[in-house]
Amino acid sequence: MAYELPALPYDYTALEPAISKQTLEFHHDKHHAGYVKKFNAAVEGTEFDRKPIEDVIKAIAGDDSKTPIFNAGAQAWNHTFYWNSMKPNGGGEPSGELADKIKSDFGSLDKFKEEFKNAGTGQFGSGWAWLVLDNGTLKVTKTLNADNPLTAGQTPLLTMDVWEHAYYLDYQNLRGSYIDAFLDQLINWDFAAKNLAKAK
C-alpha cells in the first residue's frame, strides 16, 4: 500500500504572515509531494513496499545502496513532522511537564531558544533543527539534508526545516528572521508535549 501525502493540518493561509500561502503551496504540494512520489516509486515491489515509513527509514539508514530510498522516505517523514511542529497562533511558552523539563535540561526557555536558533542558523546548507529526547534528556540537534534523529535512537519532539525552500520566498537570505518567526509565532508546544508524553 502506497504511502500517502498527508494533508496540511491547517489552511494554506493559517500561518500568515510568518509563512505565506505561496510558500506552503510550493512546499507541501510540490516539494513534499515529490518526496512521497519518489519514495513510493523506489519501494514498489521491494521488501519495503508495505512497511511503515519509520521502519524503512531506520532499517536502511547508512546503507549507501539504499540512499535514494532513504532520502525520499526521510524527507517525506520529516516534512509531515514539520507541519505538525507548527500551528496558527503558535509560539508563546510550553506548559506542564514539557515546560519543567525544558527548564531542568536547558536552564530556561530562553536558553533552549538560543540553542535551537544556533542549530538552525549554524546548519551549513540544507537540513533540519530538532528538539529531541535522548536517553531521558532533552537536547537540541541538527541534521544534514534528509537525516533525522530516528536513525540515532533519539525521539523527535519537534523540528524546523532550514532548507531554503522552507523560507526563501518569504525571507530570502534572512534565515535568522525565519527562525525567529518559527519560535515566536509558529512553534507548536502541544505537539512537542504529546510526543514527550508518548516517549515515556
Does 161 carry a binding-site annotation? yes
119 and 159, same domain (yes or no): yes
26 and 119, same domain (yes or no): no
Give the range of the structural domain holding residue 116, as residue numbers without chain letter.
96-199
CATH number at residue 67: 1.10.287.990
Does 28 carry a binding-site annotation? no
Which pLDDT tens digit goes with each residue over 110-125?
999 999 999 999 998 8
Does 64 carry a binding-site annotation? no
Which pLDDT tens digit goes with each residue over 24-38?
999 999 999 999 999
Which pLDDT tens digit goes with each residue over 58-105?
999 999 999 999 999 999 999 999 999 999 999 999 999 999 999 999
| 121 part of a folded domain | yes
Residue 50 confidence (pLDDT): 85
Residue 2 scores a pLDDT above 90: no
DSSP 6: P
Does 27 carry a binding-site annotation? yes
| 27 part of a folded domain | yes
Question: Which band of pLDDT confidence, cut at 50, 70 and 90, is reported for residue 1?
Answer: low
| 119 part of a folded domain | yes
| 30 part of a folded domain | yes
Cα angle vertex 198, ends 92, 54, to 5°?
Answer: 105
Q: In this structure, are strands 155-161 and 127-134 parallel, antiparallel, or unpaired?
A: antiparallel
| 77 part of a folded domain | yes
Give me the DSSP letters along 124-188. -SSEEEEEEEETTEEEEEEEETT--GGGGT-EEEEEEE-SGGGTHHHHTT-HHHHHHHIIIIIB-
Which of 41, 64, 84 is where one domain is finished?
Answer: 84
Q: How many domains does the chain have?
A: 2
